[in-house]
Structure formats: C-alpha cells, structure tokens
Structure 1
Amino acid sequence: MSGRVLVAGIGNVFLGDDGFGVEVVNRIDASALPSRVDVVDYGIRGVHLAYELLNGRHDTLIMVDAVPIEGPPGTLAVLEVDDADAVVAGPVPVNGHGMHPQAVLELLRNLGGGVRRVLIVGCRPAVIDEGMGLSAPVAAAVDDAVRLVADLARQADVECADA
C-alpha cells in the first residue's frame, strides 16, 4: 500500500438524487487536499472503481453516494465498512452501468483485492426516479457533504502517513 486515499463519487445523474455522490466530488477542490488524496467521479462505473482498487495504490477508500439511511431526505451519515461486511459467498452480479457500494466491495474481494479502510459518506435520497437534478433537501446537503468528505480525506491522509 502506498498511503493514498481515494475519494470516489458514485451514482447515476439521470436518476435524481442518485447523482448525489457525483455532485459532491465535482464540487470538491482537489487542489486544496493533500497530494496523496485522489478525487474521482466514477458515476455508474462501479466496475472501473473495483479494478482501480486492485492496483493496491490506495489504503483508504471514501465512497460518496445516496444511501437508504435513517432520517429525512438530505440526512448525511458516515458509515465505516467492516472488512467482514464486504465478504460475499458466491458470484457477484456485475452491472457495468451502476453498482452500489456493497457490490463494488464484493466484486473487489472476489477479484482478490482489498482496501485497508472503507468509509461511505451517504445521503438519504428523496427521489430516485428518471430525471436530472437533485431534490431540494439533497441539494441543500451537498455543501455540508463537500466539507465532510474533505475533512475525512485530510484525516485519512494523516492516518495513512502515520501507519
């Protein structure tokens, strides 16, 4: 491992609030983050994210996505994925045009890869229907999510450097 941090925005911008992760990473000022932090919009390319992680360059993965968490739409949460949570028995169905965080991690494990630490910054969606643009409560959470993700990336960078 190289002590790098990958911030990955995932989601489908054509499904309303599912585009949350993409919107957040596109608003992050990557130049204001440490040089060992990579910020990438993966959108619906979950398979590409899994293959990127196979190269072993990243110790920490921070995925940003719309997730079904408790609370009203626009609620933010940081979830840490336990390595045991990412283990799957049997084949993982691969959808080249969109995979949720758990499916990406399961594919990565089945390919023989792994990441030391995985965080998911999630936002409770209001609308996951065909149509572009975030709902009002999710759009209102984007700026807070940008700050949260940047803070987590800086903290993870320090932790990776100390490890």
Structure 2
Amino acid sequence: MEENVSLTVTLDEDPGRDLGERRIPGHRFFFTPGEVESLDEPGAAPGVAGAAVDAPPARRVLVAGIGNVFLGDDGFGVELAGRLARQKVPAGVDVVDFGVRGMDLAYALADYDVAVLLDALPRGQAPGTLYVLEAELEDAEPSLDAHAMDPVTVLRLARTLGSMPDRVLVVGCEPANQLSVEEDDLLMELSEPMRAALNEAVRLVEDLLEDVTAEGGAPSGEKDDDVERRERGSWARD
C-alpha cells in the first residue's frame, strides 16, 4: 500500500497460526499506527492497551497454617487455614497450609510484609482459648533446624535465612491434647474445645487482616522481646 504503514498482528495461541511446511501465519490482523496504543503508557495493563491497572496492595500478608494433622490438636493451624482459604480475604493476602514444611515457610516469609502464623499454642489456659502474639526476634539465637515446625523455630530459621517480614503475628489456640510422633496412636481430628473455637478464630484472623492490610494499619498491642517466653506480649480471648 503506497504511502501507508500498517501493523500486522498474529496470535501466539492461534490454532491456525502455522500452516504446512512454509509456516505461514494463518490469521493476520492489520492496524494503522493510529489504532494502536502503546503498552508502555502509564496505567496500561499487560496485553490490554489502554486498560487501567489496579493499584498494588499496600501490604502483602501471608497467613500460614502450621501443624501436624496426625497429632490431634496440633493440626489446629492447618484446619483454620483451610477455613480461611474458603473466605474472601483482602487484596494482598495469601492463605497457605504449610503443615510441617518449616523450611518452605521460612523461605516464603521473604516475599511478605506481614506474616500471621496459625498454630496450637499451649499456655496453660482452658482448652479452646485463643491467643494473639506479636514477636520480635532481634535478640533471638539463629537456628538451622529445618525439621522443627513450632513458630519460634520457624521464625528463628527465617531470620537465619534473612527472610523475616516486617511484622509477625501468631494466632494460637490452647490444645486439649499434645501428642508426639513417637506415640503409637495417631489422632486425625481436633478435640471438641478446639473445634468449638474455630469459628471465633476465623473472625479473629479476619479482624487482624483488616487492620494489617489497611494503609499504615498496625494493630495495637505489646511486643514480645523474647519469643520463647510466650506468656508475654500477647492477649487472650476466652
């Protein structure tokens, strides 16, 4: 076409793109330069010229369920994560069941600004009591134990790997039983007090997520200087 410029566009996934040995594009689309908008323009979305892009979330938050589902109440965090995964959560929040994969969780923490760990948390109160703890690990000893899965060890491992988020919250529930892998009788269900606390635990985590995902949001509360002393820096709901 004399004195005219046209752009030819083909589709990567076009089933008629390659025809025979000559590999001639089967479908071609022609546009004039004035009909095409640059994807590099501010607010343009990849693959859609001129489309607006939603603002990225102010904070990325990982909600991690941890625990062993074969050890009775130790599976609380896994069950709670499963319930939360079926709820609508704010933008920027990922809910993941890590089970007993401590090393995977420690590495994953590097991608988030805030972590909320869900776990059974024995503190001597009535079974089913819910707790929230915010931890600081500046003075904690490093750890290289990739097999332990309690929040203390996981956070120490994350600090050793250099993957600590800005904030770490632990949402726990007082267990009615504490089994170990050495015991013969494994138990793949939560105790009645634990099951009864799950709905309230879901609401508790949802409240926390609303706070921490808000721009500049930060739930008030004390911080634990020594994460091993879990009786400090936390509050409970009975």
TM-score strictly above 0.5: yes
Equivalent residues of 2:137, 2:156 under 8 A apart: no
Asked if 1:138 is matched to 2:190, the reply is: no
Q: CA deviation at 1:17?
A: 0.2
Aligned to 1:50: 106
Partner of 2:134: 80
1:115-159 per-position Cα deviation (integer Å, ceiling 9, x unaligned):
101000010101122211000111100110011111111211114
* Structure 1 gaps, min length 5: none
**Distance of aligned partners of 1:62 and 1:160 in 2 relative to their CA distance in 1, 3 Å threshold:** farther
Cα drift, residue 29 of structure 1: 4.7
The whole-number CA distance in structure 2 between the counterparts of 1:94 and 1:29 is: 26
The worse-fitting range, judged by mean Cα deviation, of 152-161 and 75-84 is 152-161
Q: How does 1:99-138 map to 2 (within 5 A)?
A: 99-129=149-179, 130-138=186-194
Equivalents in 2 of 1:103, 1:75: separation in Å?
Answer: 23
Per-residue CA shift, 1:101-128, capped at 9, x if unaligned?
Answer: 1111111111122110100001010112
Q: CA 1:159–1:17 in structure 2 vs 1: closer, same or farther (change >3 Å)? A: farther
Q: 1-side partners of 2:217 and 2:207: how far apart? A: 16
User: Per-residue deviation at 1:69?
Assistant: 1.9
Q: Which amino acid aligns with 1:119?
A: L
Q: Which residue of 1 aligns with 2:31?
A: none
How many residue pairs get aligned? The number is 155
TM-aligned CA distance change 1:17 to 1:51, over 3 Å: same
Matched, 1:39 2:95: yes
**Which structure is higher in helix share?**
1
Q: 2:205 aligns with which of 146, 149, 158?
A: 149
Judge conservation of contact 1:69–1:122 (CA < 8 Å) in 2.
no
Instruction: Find the counterpart in structure 1 of residue 25 from structure 2.
Output: none
Q: TM-score, normalised by structure 2?
A: 0.61
Please give the TM-score of this superposition, normalised by the length of structure 1: 0.87
Structure 1 outlier segments of 4+, above 3 Å = 159-162
Alignment of 1:61 with 2:115, yes or no, is yes
Larger radius of gyration: 2
- Structure 2 unaligned regions, length at least 5: 1-57, 180-185, 219-238
Residue 94 (structure 1) aligned with residue 150 (structure 2): no
Give secondary structure in 1 for the equivalent of 2:134: strand
Assess if the C-alpha contact under 8 Å between 1:30 and 1:38 holds in 2.
no
C-alpha RMSD of matched pairs (Å): 1.9
Residues 77 and 106 of structure 1: CA distance in aligned 2, closer, same or farther (over 3 Å):
same
Secondary structure at 1:139 match in 2: helix
How far the C-alpha of 1:31 sits from its partner, in A, is 5.2
Match of 1:4 among 60, 74, 89: 60
